[in-house]
Amino acid sequence: MSTGSQPPETALGRAGRWGLTAFAAAGFVYLFLPIAVIVVYSFNKPRGKFNIIWQEFTLDNWKSPFAPGPLTDAMVLSLKVAAISAVVATILGTLMALALVRYRFRGGVLIGLLLVLPITTPEIVMGSSLATLFISRGVQRGFVTILIAHVLFCTSFVALTVKARIRGFDWNLEDAAMDLGASPWRTFSRVTLPLITPGILAAGLLSFALSIDDFIITFFNSGSEETFPLRIFGASRTQISPQINVLSTVVLLGSITLMLVGVVFRRRTDGH
Amino acid sequence: MTTNPVPPRLSGGPLLSRRTLIARMSALAAAGVVGPGLLAACGSDDESAGGPSNALWHDNWPAYMDEETLDLFRKDSGLDFKYTEGFNDNNEYFAKVQADLAAKKSIGPDIITPTFWLAARLIDLGWVQEVPFDNIPNAANLVPQLRKPAWDPDGRFSLPYASGMTGIAYNIAETGRELTSTGDLFDPAFKGRVGMLLEMRDTVGLTMLLTGQDPTKATFEGATEAFSMIEDATSSGQIRQFTGNDYMDDLATGNYAACIGWSGDVLQLSLDNPDIRFVIPDEGGMQWSDVMVIPSGSTNAANTAKWMNYLYDPENAARITSYVGYNTPVEGVQAVMAAGDEAQQALAKSQLLFPDAATLDRLSVFANLDPEAEAAFDERFSEITGA
Amino acid sequence: MTSRGGEDRSKRSAGIVPYGLLSPGILWLLLFFLVPLVTLGRTSLSVKASRFDPNDIRLTWELSNYTNAIGDYSEQFLRSFAYAGIATVACILIGYPIAYVIAFRGGRYRNVLLGLVVIPFFTSFLIRTLAWVNVLSDKGPVVSAIEYLQFSGLLESLGIMSDGRLLSTHTAVVGGLTYNFLPFMILPIYVSLEKIDLGLADAAKDLYNNGWQAFRKVVLPLSLPGLFAGSLLTFIPASGDFVNAKFLGGPRNTMIGSVIQDRFLVQGDLPTAAALSFMLMIIMTIGTLIYARMLGTDDLI
């Protein structure tokens, strides 16, 4: 920020500035308050089955975060669902984004609307309508229906994210490569793909995050399968074990690591 | 009657693993990364649909089974045994599976564990199959009073898993006095600090007893007064929340002073907090059973029989009972526990775990409602609970 | 950024190629988004022929499903919009200053600060809500602090506390909604603030010689698209939520999502659930369009 050329600040202005910064700092405390509770309780040693009251500090819960059991099974299922739906949604969404940005065709506005609608529809409407379809068609709800639902809400996000990211690119490079005699495939893999990869990766990660945390839509379409959020919902009604806190903290740390990797990766690619 | 002080928990922590972290991590990594392997793994859920297999799936209530028993059985039987905790609420579970059951499709699990009234409905609808008693010799250990229960008059379609009592649970540090009656829940001193259960038969049954009605012969008319009492207490803010098992959090943290509760939970909870007590109200309490039934789409009778037989072995049942804290339907468990270690011996004397005849006499089982009456009860109850 | 004209020039018209690229995604959206909405509409006009068989649903143009649903649940509808509305305003009040500080005062720590906004939301939605149950409980830190500072009387009279508690009240539900959807407010506002040329902001300050005036006349109007997107991304999911009401509210704080969830997943009453869902969607769509028109924004997201 350039502050050098500004007129001297009034006392009121300075107080406002400080007040604003203090407010934002308090905002961050607010954001992290429940997270602190989650992490702290992962070190609790409950005497009964309920991790509700602080008893004493222990590291035991951390010795085997992936101990076999329903919670780990649910986590594995969630990872599977998130991985598959992120891949499928990223492919579907990226293709749509490419078409929308690169080509002129009829019906573009309608398609844009179709992409936005799933995002502006409350989750409970999407979840219940999809479940209604499955029930009326006699489709058994389970793994496949969870995937269908997740791909659905991820696709829109991917298409819009990728679209926003690649809108400003200089596509003449593509034409230049073709003019120089590169085959369409070679052009795509050597020119187009490197251009759009960061956007696609970001969209894929977003899909993964959306999928792994989805509760409401999955709740309607899961049948007898149980994803991680569903297991927590079940556990919240009976047995909130420290393992839930441990796994949540692991997910948190994993996400932070991924984010840091992303930052480093971006720095490097920017450097070239 | 209040809970006996209960010794520290007997069975090992259910969540402690004997496998290494690394093995699990690599399994996770493989699951997250290897595409084709994934799809193959997903397909394995449908195994139960084809011929004799090694698979078995039991869907049960949470905190209803110790990890050690599962390990032992898996080792013993060599079965690929899937155990899930998909039951949170009977109505919710029914709504989840009814479409498939009605269409005579497999719902996945080979054994499910509804509460007695839902089992009765499933049996009536013909959506469950006979229990393969021929291959369950240990079923002879079933206590006589549950052999031909009202929900399964021939005793052919179900096998009890566990029973329990519904009464008043309270935190004496918050109430400041012992409670003796369901009427105490309506005491204005506890305004906003009283909980009731979403399990309609427990909440309405207990309140009916308070109003002098007999829930074993419940009619919608007979329940009118009970419903109005609950409704008034809800709109006045006396009742803070209607919940499933999660009332235990609120009781333990002191959000609730008192609530309707289940015996086994309170037994467990008193480990954390000796101030938490359970009482069968003077007017009487409710009794219920969760029972195992086999959905009609399951084709795993042989494996199902192995597991049920295992559960009905008194040694195994004693281990499970020590962990779960509910009343076992298996005869001989009390004797096994009385001969067990110190902690088990103490549990063997608990009136909550092994109620005597005088205690059982004060309990009622909610009437078997016909569909119209049930619909009326459900409708009225969900109107009150606000959703 | 390229201008619209430049973008168009780079676009090709290549016959069926775009349709080929679009078709898998479109197919998915049609099959699993639009078709289900049609089924939902059908179901909302049907009767359940048998109490226990959800497959046995007959289309009888049962408009009474709607009139009954409005009669029985208008309270929950209104409550949902009120809660979601208050939560959205709260998100703006909390989120705007945070976004502003990150965008204009963050300097080279901008990305780190943005990361800090997002990180809490890498834990599961449910776990976060359950953590609030812990924080707001009767013996928890917040209530204890209020009691220590003797604010409870004031908060009771303001209707924020009731019977000396926060948990299982409307305050807790709105608070949970605010917390859970806050990043959906902060991020879009940040994006629109980030685009504002710092020189422009400084020039405005010089011009008005007053930070507040400069903000009101220059920065705020330029950040309206972000505010618009953030409000939608907060209000829409908040009004359809039932998780916060379930964990943080009591029987008098249920929202329309709670009812739909209960009707559908607990009572197995698909026609009523479908009618409620359908109404919720229609209200949301119309509301969004009016809101877009009011703010003069054509680009929805």
Q: Which residue of C has its CA nearest to A113?
A: C300
Contact criterion met (CB < 8 Å) for B243 and A140: no
Which residues sit opposite B291 in a β-bridge? B160
Report the pLDDT value the prediction gives residue A93, as an integer from 0 to 100. Answer: 95
**CB contacts, 8 Å: A226 with chain B:** 84, 86
Which residues sit opposite B170 in a β-bridge? B258, B277
* Higher pLDDT, residue C176 or A58: C176
Over residues C170-194, the mean pLDDT reads: 94
Q: Which residue of B has its CA nearest to A69?
A: B15
Contact criterion met (CB < 8 Å) for B17 and A237: no
pLDDT-based confidence at C53, cuts 50/70/90?
Answer: confident
- Percent of chain C having pLDDT more than 70? 93
pLDDT-based confidence at C299, cuts 50/70/90?
Answer: low
Q: Over 80: is that where the pLDDT of C5 sits? A: no
Q: Which residue of A has its CA nearest to C54?
A: A135
Over residues B303-310, the mean pLDDT reads: 97
Which residues sit opposite B163 in a β-bridge? B289, B327
Measured CA to CA in angstroms, residue A218 lies from A142, A212, B168 at distances of 10, 10, 35
Q: Hey, how many other C-beta atoms are within 10 angstroms of the C-beta on B356?
A: 8
User: In whole angstroms, what is the distance from residue B344 CA to residue B342 CA?
Assistant: 5
Pairing assessment for the beta strands B111-112 and B55-59 based on DSSP bridges: parallel
Domains and CATH numbers, chain A: 68-240 (1.10.3720.10)
Contact criterion met (CB < 8 Å) for C123 and A252: yes
Q: Is position C49 within any domain?
A: no
Q: What is the CATH number of the domain that holds C122?
A: 1.10.3720.10
Q: Does C35 touch chain A (CB under 8 A)?
A: yes
Contact criterion met (CB < 8 Å) for B245 and A238: yes
CB pairs A-C closer than 8 Å: 270
**Average confidence score pLDDT of chain B:** 86
User: In whole angstroms, what is the distance from residue B252 CA to residue A42 CA?
Assistant: 18
CB C88 within 8 A of CB C229: no
Q: Does C197 touch chain A (CB under 8 A)?
A: no
Two tokens, residue C266: 């607990």
Q: Over 60: is that where the pLDDT of B45 sits? A: no
Q: Over 80: is that where the pLDDT of C55 sits? A: no
Q: Nearest by CB to A239, which of B8, B27, B62?
A: B62
- Terminal-residue alpha carbon distance, chain B: 35
The Cα angle at residue B254 between residues B251 and B260, in degrees rounded to 5 = 30
**CB contacts, 8 Å: C116 with chain A:** 28, 31-32
Report the pLDDT value the prediction gives residue C13, as an integer from 0 to 100. Answer: 60
Q: Does A226 touch chain B (CB under 8 A)?
A: yes
Q: Which of A104-113, B277-286, B362-371, C127-136 has the lowest mean pLDDT?
A: A104-113
User: In whole angstroms, what is the distance from residue B342 CA to residue B334 CA?
Assistant: 14
Q: Over 70: is that where the pLDDT of B118 sits? A: yes
> Residues C196-255: pLDDT tens digits?
877 777 777 777 777 788 888 888 988 998 999 899 999 999 999 999 999 999 999 999
Report the pLDDT value the prediction gives residue C297, as an integer from 0 to 100. Answer: 54
> HSE of C282 in the Cβ direction (CA atoms, 13 Å)?
11
Q: Over 60: is that where the pLDDT of B2 sits? A: no
What is the residue type of B263?
Answer: S
Q: Does A15 touch chain C (CB under 8 A)?
A: no
Contact criterion met (CB < 8 Å) for C252 and B237: yes
Report the pLDDT value the prediction gives residue A134, as an integer from 0 to 100. Answer: 93
Phi, psi of B261 (to 5 degrees): -145, 170
What does B168-221 look like in DSSP terms, one character per residue? Answer: EEEEHHHHSS---SGGGGG-GGGTT-EEEES-HHHHHHHHHHHTT--GGG--TT
Q: Which residue of B has its CA nearest to C252?
A: B386
CB C169 within 8 A of CB C253: yes
Two tokens, residue C81: 């919009």
Domains and CATH numbers, chain B: 52-162+288-356 (3.40.190.10), 164-284+362-385 (3.40.190.10)
Mutate to test the interface with C, among A31, A153, A178 (most CBs of C within 10 A): A31
Q: Which residue of B has its CA nearest to C55?
A: B99
* Cβ neighbours of residue C271 closer than 8 Å, sequence gap 6 or more: C43, C44, C45, C46, C47, C48, C57, C62, C65
> Residues B208-252: pLDDT tens digits?
999 999 999 999 999 999 999 999 999 999 999 999 888 888 888
Over residues B259-264, the mean pLDDT reads: 95
Report the pLDDT value the prediction gives residue B179, as an integer from 0 to 100. Answer: 97
Q: Report pTM.
A: 0.86
Q: Which residue of C has its CA nearest to B199?
A: C266
Contact criterion met (CB < 8 Å) for C11 and A263: no
Q: Does A69 touch chain B (CB under 8 A)?
A: yes
Q: Does A13 touch chain C (CB under 8 A)?
A: yes
Q: Which residue of A has its CA nearest to B6?
A: A48
Q: CA of C42, closest CA in chain A: separation in Å?
A: 10
What stretch of H or E contains C134? Answer: helix C125-136
Q: Which of B38-52, C7-21, C192-206, C220-234 has the lowest mean pLDDT?
A: B38-52
**Average confidence score pLDDT of chain C:** 87
Q: Over 80: is that where the pLDDT of C92 sits? A: yes
Q: Is position C248 within any domain?
A: yes
Report the pLDDT value the prediction gives residue B270, as an integer from 0 to 100. Answer: 83
CB C261 within 8 A of CB C278: no
User: In whole angstroms, what is the distance from residue B358 CA to residue B355 CA?
Assistant: 8
Two tokens, residue B188: 């204005």
Q: CA of C11, closest CA in chain A: separation in Å?
A: 5
Give chain A's largest Cα–Cα span.
73
Q: Which of residues 126-155 of C touch A (CB under 8 A)?
A: 126-128, 130-132, 134-135
* Cβ neighbours of residue B345 closer than 8 Å, sequence gap 6 or more: B337, B338, B339
Phi, psi of B285 (to 5 degrees): -120, 180
Q: How many domains does chain C have?
A: 1
| 3-state DSSP assignment of residue A60 | helix
CB B363 within 8 A of CB B287: yes
Please choose, from the candidates B164, B161, B116, the residue with its C-alpha nearest in 3D space to the C-alpha of residue B352.
Answer: B164
Over residues C259-280, the mean pLDDT reads: 93
Low-confidence ranges of chain A (pLDDT < 70): 1-9, 12, 47-52, 239, 266-272
- Percent of chain B having pLDDT more than 70? 86
Over residues C267-294, the mean pLDDT reads: 90
Two tokens, residue B80: 């690929």
Neighbors of chain A with 3 or more C-beta pairs under 8 Å: B, C
Q: Which residue of C has its CA nearest to B372?
A: C51
Two tokens, residue B113: 């564990």
Q: Which residue of B has its CA nearest to A225?
A: B86
Q: Does A6 touch chain C (CB under 8 A)?
A: yes
User: In whole angstroms, what is the distance from residue A28 CA to residue A24 CA?
Assistant: 6
Instruction: Domain of residue C196: give its range.
Output: 68-295
**CB contacts, 8 Å: A231 with chain B:** 85
Q: Nearest by CB to B96, which of A52, A223, A231?
A: A223
* Cβ neighbours of residue C84 closer than 8 Å, sequence gap 6 or more: C177, C234, C235, C238, C239, C241
User: In whole angstroms, what is the distance from residue B369 CA to residue B304 CA?
Assistant: 30
Measured CA to CA in angstroms, residue B387 lies from B51, B379, C208, C260, C264 at distances of 43, 10, 54, 8, 11
- Percent of chain C having pLDDT more than 90? 53
Over residues C184-198, the mean pLDDT reads: 89
Q: CA of B242, closest CA in chain C: separation in Å?
A: 7
Q: Over 70: is that where the pLDDT of C154 sits? A: yes
Which residues sit opposite B80 in a β-bridge? B55
Q: Is position C57 within any domain?
A: no
Q: Which of residues 142-181 of A touch B (CB under 8 A)?
A: 142-144
**CB contacts, 8 Å: B61 with chain A:** 238
Question: What's the ipTM?
Answer: 0.89
Phi, psi of A135 (to 5 degrees): -65, -45
Q: Does A3 touch chain C (CB under 8 A)?
A: no
Report the pLDDT value the prediction gives residue B273, as an integer from 0 to 100. Answer: 82
Q: CA of A145, closest CA in chain B: separation in Å?
A: 12
Q: Nearest by CB to C281, which of A28, A121, A131?
A: A121
Helix, strand, coil percentages in chain B from 3-state DSSP, rounded to 5: 45, 15, 35
Which residues sit opposite B164 in a β-bridge? B288
Mutate to test the interface with A, among C1, C32, C215 (most CBs of A within 10 A): C32
What is the residue type of C200?
Answer: L
Contact criterion met (CB < 8 Å) for C258 and B387: yes
Please choose, from the candidates C231, C251, C244, the residue with its C-alpha nearest in 3D space to the C-alpha of residue C86.
Answer: C231
**CB contacts, 8 Å: A236 with chain B:** 246
Angle of helix C125-136 relative to helix A228-236, nearest 10 degrees, comes to 30
Q: Nearest by CB to A124, which of C10, C55, C260?
A: C260
**CB contacts, 8 Å: A53 with chain B:** 252-253, 272-273
Which residues sit opposite B142 in a β-bridge? B330
Length, in residues, of chain C: 301
Contact criterion met (CB < 8 Å) for A105 and C18: yes
> Residues B277-303: pLDDT tens digits?
999 999 999 999 999 999 999 999 999
Q: Is position C154 within any domain?
A: yes
Give chain C's largest Cα–Cα span.
73
Q: Which residue of C has its CA nearest to B242?
A: C251
User: In whole angstroms, what is the distance from residue B267 CA to residue B245 CA?
Assistant: 13
Q: CA of A33, closest CA in chain B: separation in Å?
A: 19
